[in-house]
Structure 1
Amino acid sequence: MTAPEPCFDIAHLGHVEMLTDRYEASLDFFTRVYGLKLSVEDETGAYLRAWDDYEFATLKLTRADTTGVGHIGYRAASPAALDRRVRAIEASGYKVIGWVAGDPSHGRAFRFEDPFGHVFEIYYDTVRYEAPDEADRAALKNTASAFTGAAPRRLDHLNLLSSDVAEFRRFMQTCLGARVTEYIELDNGRIGGCWFTVNNKTYDLACTEEHGGATARLHHVTYATDQREDILRAADIFLQNGVHIETGPHKHAIQGTFFLYVWEPAGNRVELANAGARLILAPDWQPVKWTQADRMKGQAWGLKTIESFHTHGTPPTSTG
């Protein structure tokens, strides 16, 4: 796999819109149990953020009659970079939705769609979070808001499902200028998963194979913690509150993150992860290939990947 020249027109993953058909229960989970902060709530849903997210919202929790992902938002590096990406997307042949108005968390955005029905948007103008009172104001000026409990620190990444990961890879490289940092190549030659970055993080989006015969599905959304101990404490908090713990705590082989996966009340999979200090500093980084035999060994310390991790996505299908 040849690595394209780094682009960096896109600064970072900005936010994810998650759909829930159990809005009140999901909002209670994300604020009281998971530890996100409520920035504002309106008739469509809630705008949430982790304690050190600089933007007004990194998770929009939307009232819906289904579950899954509504859209994925990336912030451009500058107004000029936004214009360059818009032109590249318009020339790409992928579905263009066009400019849409902003919301309480950011200005106008340009929307487009991957071949599998996931809606993306890119924007530049954003709303920075300002603590409304002393109770939420950080003691240190370089922190966005007060640290509370075992709450996650920032939005880290999400995982989407698609029936053709190689085609999704082309979409990410063409439209967002993303690089692949690690990938899975199956024995039959298919790409089983790809991990993408638009900056120097190891990844901000992953795509893995869809086994449910559906389109536009979400695998999970992940927030990062400072340290592994935060995740261990969170496991006890989830247990105390009756949250379904799917797998972990444990360490991934791919990307090396320490992880814990749970299902929020509507069934969307949510992860807490500690990504450590890994950064992709090499401009000529060569993607790491994992074979089918590698994956059969399980996670980093031998934990086997459970079946629901391959079958469960949202919205659910008859097979998961």
Structure 2
Amino acid sequence: MTKERIFDIAHLAHIEIYSPKLEESVKFFKEILGMDDVYREGKSVYMRAYEDHYHNTLVITEHHEAGLGHLSLRATSPQALERRVAEIEKMGCGIGWIDGDIGHGRAYQFKSPDGHKMEIFWDVEYYQAPDDQKTPLLNRPQKRPNRGVPVRRLDHINLLAKETNKNVEFLEEALGFKVRERILAPDNTDVAAWLSVSNLVHDVAIMGDALEEEGRLHHICYWYGYPQHLTDVADLLIENGYEIEVSPIKHGVSQAACMYVFEPGGNRVELFGDAGYLIFDPDWKTIEWDAKDVDQAILWHGTQLPQEFFQYGTPVRSKEPVKN
């Protein structure tokens, strides 16, 4: 009998990253990727892309090292929030409730088996554009920015994990994520897995940490909509001295056109040129790649990936280079 699917989590709502170079990181997302900084409080800056409907989708917090602060998921209802909290508490992964944050109401915080901090909320603040940023395109929250090559919306996050399968199973059992694609090792464990609660191939991806560290971030991702924009932003990145790790390529997994860059704080940022394919089948069968096919799974065509792509994450550890 098919196990009843959980529909309590709607999507990835926002991400907090740490940066030891706060203002430089903000400048990168604002001037190159065209995002807006919509609020500042303490050592945190709240930012958004122009087709994000919520108040913010990115929080950059000043910290002594780069990495993930937390990722935030929106529930599908107040009742769904309470159901997921009850399940997480049964598993012993809970941290507890917070009253809320800029842009959303009370939230329940918890940790993945690997130690990544997460939260779920329901009440949210929708973005209200000031008069000079309102657009006659009524289904867009604000005008398209006229700086940089502006990204359109938050897409996904990729987490590194010491024990991949434990984290994949947690996302499935505690939160209702479905594994859309995976790469399997010879012993049938996950080298990496791409999971979603939405129609995307992945809202969250889990990759094995080559350094066997815990709780690290591989990358965050924003979506452009047109592959041409990857070439456009590459010019801006090069001319302004930013490091491109991987020039525009196409993945096998997800079929997405993309590229990878480092923001000044040291975190890796993926930029999607299109969304690959979307999933509407409620009985979707997980696509399974053999480890021997990992090259095609990760890189369908384009520039060869550097070895550090599979090793570098944030926070940086002594076994890998520091990004300046």
Equivalences for 1:83-232 in 2 at 5 Å?
83-91=82-90, 93-134=91-132, 136-149=133-146, 150-232=149-231
The corresponding residue for 2:11 is 12
Q: Secondary structure at the match of 1:166?
A: helix
Cα-Cα RMSD: 1.5
Task: Decide which moves more: 184-193 or 273-282.
Answer: 273-282
Indicate conservation of the 8 Å contact 1:169/1:194, yes or no: yes
Change (3 A) 1:236 1:6: farther
The corresponding residue for 2:310 is 310
**Aligned equivalents of 1:237, 1:97: Cα separation in 2:** 41
**1:90 Cα deviation from its structure 2 partner:** 1.4
**Aligned equivalents of 1:247, 1:167: Cα separation in 2:** 29
Alignment deviations for residues 209-265 of structure 1 (CA, whole Å, 9 cap, x no partner): 111232111000000011101111111111111110000201011111111100011
The corresponding residue for 1:284 is 283
List runs of 5+ in structure 1 lacking aligned partners.
none
**1:277 Cα deviation from its structure 2 partner:** 5.9
**1:44 Cα deviation from its structure 2 partner:** 2.4
**1:4 Cα deviation from its structure 2 partner:** 5.1
Indicate conservation of the 8 Å contact 1:3/1:285, yes or no: no
**1:170 Cα deviation from its structure 2 partner:** 0.9
Amino acid at match of 2:314: T
**Aligned equivalents of 1:86, 1:274: Cα separation in 2:** 35
Indicate conservation of the 8 Å contact 2:109/2:120, yes or no: yes
**Normalising to structure 2: TM-score of the pair?**
0.94
Change (3 A) 1:30 1:314: same
Change (3 A) 1:225 1:204: same
Identity %: 36
**1:147 Cα deviation from its structure 2 partner:** 0.8
Q: Secondary structure at the match of 1:17?
A: strand
Q: Secondary structure at the match of 1:255?
A: helix
**Aligned equivalents of 1:269, 1:235: Cα separation in 2:** 15
**Aligned equivalents of 1:18, 1:202: Cα separation in 2:** 23
Aligned residues: 317
Indicate conservation of the 8 Å contact 2:250/2:302, yes or no: no
**Aligned equivalents of 1:200, 1:240: Cα separation in 2:** 36
The corresponding residue for 2:29 is 30
Indicate conservation of the 8 Å contact 2:255/2:276, yes or no: no
Amino acid at match of 1:27: V
**Aligned equivalents of 1:248, 1:259: Cα separation in 2:** 8
The corresponding residue for 1:319 is 319
Change (3 A) 1:251 1:268: same
**1:7 Cα deviation from its structure 2 partner:** 1.9
Indicate conservation of the 8 Å contact 2:19/2:62, yes or no: yes
Amino acid at match of 2:106: R
Amino acid at match of 2:117: V
Indicate conservation of the 8 Å contact 2:21/2:265, yes or no: yes
